[in-house]
Amino acid sequence: MSGSHRGREAAVVEGVDRADLVLLAIPLLFCVVYAVGSLLTGGYALPVAGASLAAGVLVVDGLFWHPPGEA
């Protein structure tokens, strides 16, 4: 999917790389953190800030800590 041709152990599931899973997890994590934050606080600003920080951690992880291989 992401075009990398690393060893077989690098793929989490056949044809799905870690980078693909990170891209899927970013909006899912944002929605979950926002929903929980909205239920707990009842506001808007704090849940959006928390969800943005949580999704930002995944972005930094996917770009800098575990960058995708070259296609």
For 49, the 3-state DSSP assignment is helix
- b/e 44-63 (16+ beta carbons within 10 angstroms → b): eeebeebbeebbeebeeebe
pLDDT at 4: 53
Question: pLDDT tens digits for 21-59?
Answer: 999 999 999 999 999 999 999 889 999 999 999 999 999
User: Is residue 37 within 8 Å of 46, Cβ to Cβ?
Assistant: yes
User: Is residue 63 within 8 Å of 15, Cβ to Cβ?
Assistant: no
